[in-house]
Amino acid sequence: MIEAAGATDPGCVRANNEDFFFLAPSLGLYVIADGMGGAQAGEHASRLAVETLAEVMKGKPRPVSSDELVDAFTEANDRVMSAAAADKSREGMGTTLVAVLESKDDLVVASVGDSRAYRYKDGMLEAITEDQSWVNEVGRRLGLEEAILKHHPMRHVLTMAVGVSEQLRVHTYRVHPAPGTLILLSSDGLHGVANDEEISTILASDSTLDDKCQELIKAARRNGGPDNITAVLLKIS
């Protein structure tokens, strides 16, 4: 059984919020999307991708396989691309997408872009997903130091996102969390601003999942909150 909570905030700089999260215990599905695009295009892309994912998964008999989750990501990609093609004001819109799906005896995690999934247990915070970003897939492979990457002009560039290419690359992972494990889904407005130590301290507290989500948002805001901030927490009981 999974207990879940989520929260989102525009941050300290942006007036609008292009992040979108979704909790569906009945489907065993938990999602975060971080949209991009001019005007309200990013908001539309993130919501459309998540709603498509939920619609497709709702029609699948459980348990659902990782391949079926990838197929749902592909459908979300197609719909975001079609929506952008049909409306010039939404041209170029896209979104990250990270999802956790309850399977038979484990969790399936799928991701596109740089929104992340983490596992937290016994004081250890461990990233489950790998970013599809210039920093991770190009900069680090070139051997650039982390101090350089932190301020590199390409540091915000994604190498993959939902809605930008017909050739979607979806990363999938299987996780076997022990009871008491916390799974954190986050947009980069959280993990790109609050450091691992701050996140771990909040996750270690005795507060409720809802309170932890709010504290995570406060931590990112204390550090300037330059982007939209979203956190989803799952507790394996």
Q: Quick one: pLDDT at residue 39?
A: 61
The correct CATH number of 2-236 out of 3.20.20.100, 3.40.50.1980, 3.60.40.10, 3.30.300.130 is 3.60.40.10
Is 198 exposed, middle or buried (CB count within 10 Å of its CB: 0-12, 13-18, 19+)? middle
Query: 228 with 189: CB under 8 angstroms?
Result: yes
Provide CB contacts within 8 A for 2, sequence distance 6+.
25, 28, 30, 102, 234, 235, 236, 237
Sign of CA dihedral 150, 223, 41, 210: positive
Confidence of residue 49 (pLDDT cuts 50, 70, 90): very high
pLDDT tens digit string along 102-143?
Answer: 987 899 999 999 999 999 999 999 999 999 977 776 777 777
For residue 139 the two structure tokens come to 């900069």
The rounded distance, in Å, linking the Cα atoms of 211 and 226 is 22
As a whole-number percent, the residues of the chain with pLDDT over 70 amount to 97
The rounded distance, in Å, linking the Cα atoms of 191 and 163 is 23
User: Is residue 61 predicted with pLDDT exceeding 90?
Assistant: no
Q: Quick one: pLDDT at residue 137?
A: 65
Q: Quick one: pLDDT at residue 40?
A: 75
As a whole-number percent, the residues of the chain with pLDDT over 90 amount to 79
Confidence of residue 59 (pLDDT cuts 50, 70, 90): confident
User: Is residue 186 predicted with pLDDT exceeding 80?
Assistant: yes
Domains of the chain, residue spans: 2-236
**Sequence letter at residue 222:** R
Q: Quick one: pLDDT at residue 38?
A: 67
HSE-up (13 A, CA, CB side) for residue 127 = 15
Predicted TM-score of the model (pTM) = 0.94
